[in-house]
Structure 1
Amino acid sequence: MTTTYTRTYEVAVRAEASLGEGPTWDPATGTLLWLDILGSRLHTYDPATGRRAVRVTDQHVGAAKPRAGGGLVLNLRDGVGLLDPDDSFRWLHHEPVPGRRANDAAVAPDGSLWAGTMRYDEAPGGGTLSRLTGDGSVEVVLDDVAVSNGTGWSPDGRLMYYIDSPTRRVDVFDHADGRVSGRRTFVEIEEGAGFPDGLTVDADGCVWVALWDGGAVRRYTPAGALDRVIELPTPRVTACAFGGADLTDLYITTARVGLDTPHPVAGSLLVVPSAGKGLPQPTFAG
């Protein structure tokens, strides 16, 4: 049975992000990180106090994840960089490619960063998914991607879920020792329901998928059965992640880009309180 939830969301941060993305809970600071990729902005939100901060980056930024030693790792247009606790910046891997930018990224159970790229024109085969370790070593895992998006791991780390949005699929791989194999379809989003974008995996192993042009977040069981839908009033829903001290609140990012008449919450950070139970996310080992 599929349960549909409507009007359960709240506006955590009212904003007009062009391309809101990448919600990530930082337990060390008790804050939610999220991005406006095309606005080159890194947002920080403290739900306990309501305090907000915005940092403007020098380039379009696709993802920001906490590091084990403090600071952040950033997936930027021209590569992956490290923001140190003292606010200094340095490149971990610098690889500018004309017409290409960073997109979503995720940290694996072993502390490596799996960073996606895409072309601005979304040309098929123009993007990649790469694995980066703390010493800056880089391995291209997938080299024939259009729009590299949501990536996440099962609670035991033995499965990796991955989205290349134009395929309309969430794929699943077997994962061991930083390697993936056995790619296969986990779920396919039907025509008219939008495109899969970001994803997160909860403590029960269920996969939550944000639907671009679908105005919803869906939860799928580990067997691939749709069992929950959270409907939202704005179509361009980009990503979701659990946050809060007990990881039960689902934060959802949205976008305004390309909408002729955006809904008032388009581009805002939304939250669905007590939506489920998330997994603690590993920090980047670098």
Structure 2
Amino acid sequence: MTPVTPEIAVRENAELGEGPTWDPAGARLIWVDILGRRLHSYEPDSGRRSVTAVDQHIGAAKPRAGGGLVANLRDGIGLYAPDGAFSWLRHDPVPGRRGNDAAVAPDGSLWAGTMRYDEAPGGGDLVRVAPDGTATTLLDPVTISNGIGWAPDAALTYYIDTPTRRIDILRVEDGRVVERREFATVEPGAGFPDGLAVDAEGCVWVALWDGGQLRRYTPHGALDRTVHLPVPRPTACAFGGPGLRDLYITTARTGLTDPSPLSGSLLVLPDAGQGLPGTPFAG
């Protein structure tokens, strides 16, 4: 495989950049600054970008089938109409807790994770939110609910609870997790697994918080590629751009006493591989 070098897509000072997602309808990448309460969009073809302030911490934002976005917010799941109008789909505020990473499943439901601000063990969960707002708990308790993704045939779900250092495989039947097993583990000293993306070959790309790198694991869980990044805290990755061949990487500067000049920026690995088309939220 030809090596690729990280490039700057958007130079930014996000406190906690997260949740990159390709929006094919707008030919744009959507990402968030959780602690900065900002929703970002970037159009690679034109270079045009926008930044929208939101009222509370926002863990992730994903396209909706009818236009607009669904967001995993501090106090629950919110809907943004195409004109920007906001409404709650599921209002579930818990003191000291906020929404974190989220992903849309192949069936159009939203899988949304939470965590406590103090990162207390077992303070978060992972729920499946149906288009009508009905929520089913998938995993409880978890600590820092993070990366979520599906194999190309949708038969397997990959999931990360960051402090475990593991990428797990979930088997789901009738909307419930019936099996959870280890897929791969990040060794101590190499950072902590955060967000993930699955490519068309079924390989799993993982951003390593405090590891300054991306790793790609084969469908059998073997590490076959490491990409070193110019930032210590990459947070998540997603395929986007023409043909879904570019891998975008969000990064953070929060908690760093001496951040890299690029900490908080949106990076990109051009022609990193073949991504999978996403599913919009059906609600």
**TM, length-normalised to structure 1:** 0.97
Aligned pair partner of 2:77 in 68, 76, 80: 80
Identity percentage of aligned residues = 68
Match for residue 154 of structure 2? 157
Separation in 2, partners of 1:52, 1:127: 33
One-letter amino acid of the structure 1 residue matched with residue 268 of structure 2: V
Match for residue 49 of structure 1? 46
Match for residue 113 of structure 2? 116
Report how far residue 179 of structure 1 moved. 3.0
Match for residue 124 of structure 2? 127
Aligned pair partner of 1:252 in 237, 249, 252: 249
Aligned pair partner of 2:239 in 228, 239, 242: 242
Separation in 2, partners of 1:224, 1:85: 40
Separation in 2, partners of 1:110, 1:23: 20
**Deviations, residues 118-177 of structure 1 (Å, cap 9, x unaligned):** 000000110010000111100111111100000001011110000000000000012344
Separation in 2, partners of 1:265, 1:51: 19
1:246 is paired with a residue whose SS is: helix
Separation in 2, partners of 1:184, 1:35: 30
User: Where does structure 1 differ by over 6 angstroms across 4 or more consecutive aligned residues?
Assistant: none
1:265 is paired with a residue whose SS is: coil
One-letter amino acid of the structure 1 residue matched with residue 281 of structure 2: F
Separation in 2, partners of 1:38, 1:223: 35
Match for residue 183 of structure 1? 180
Aligned pair partner of 2:22 in 25, 47, 62: 25
Q: Does 1:268 align with 2:268?
A: no
Separation in 2, partners of 1:181, 1:278: 28
Match for residue 60 of structure 2? 63
Match for residue 206 of structure 2? 209
2:163 is paired with a residue whose SS is: helix
Match for residue 146 of structure 1? 143
Separation in 2, partners of 1:176, 1:244: 33
Match for residue 279 of structure 2? 282
One-letter amino acid of the structure 2 residue matched with residue 253 of structure 1: T
Contact preservation (8 Å) 1:215, 1:237: yes
Separation in 2, partners of 1:23, 1:4: 24
Identify unmatched segments of 5+ residues in structure 1: none
Q: How many residues align?
A: 283
Match for residue 197 of structure 1? 194
**TM, length-normalised to structure 2:** 0.98
Match for residue 229 of structure 2? 232
Separation in 2, partners of 1:173, 1:164: 12
Identify unmatched segments of 5+ residues in structure 2: none
Matches within 5 A, 1:4-15: 5=3, 8-15=5-12
Report how far residue 4 of structure 1 moved. 9.9
Contact preservation (8 Å) 1:250, 1:274: yes
Separation in 2, partners of 1:17, 1:176: 38
Aligned pair partner of 2:32 in 35, 42, 49: 35
**Deviations, residues 62-117 of structure 1 (Å, cap 9, x unaligned):** 00000001100000000000001121100000010000001000000000000000
Report how far residue 230 of structure 1 moved. 0.8
2:244 is paired with a residue whose SS is: coil
Q: Does 1:94 align with 2:58?
A: no
Aligned pair in 2 of structure 1 residues 177, 48: CA closer, same or farther (>3 Å)? farther
Separation in 2, partners of 1:40, 1:136: 23
One-letter amino acid of the structure 1 residue matched with residue 125 of structure 2: T
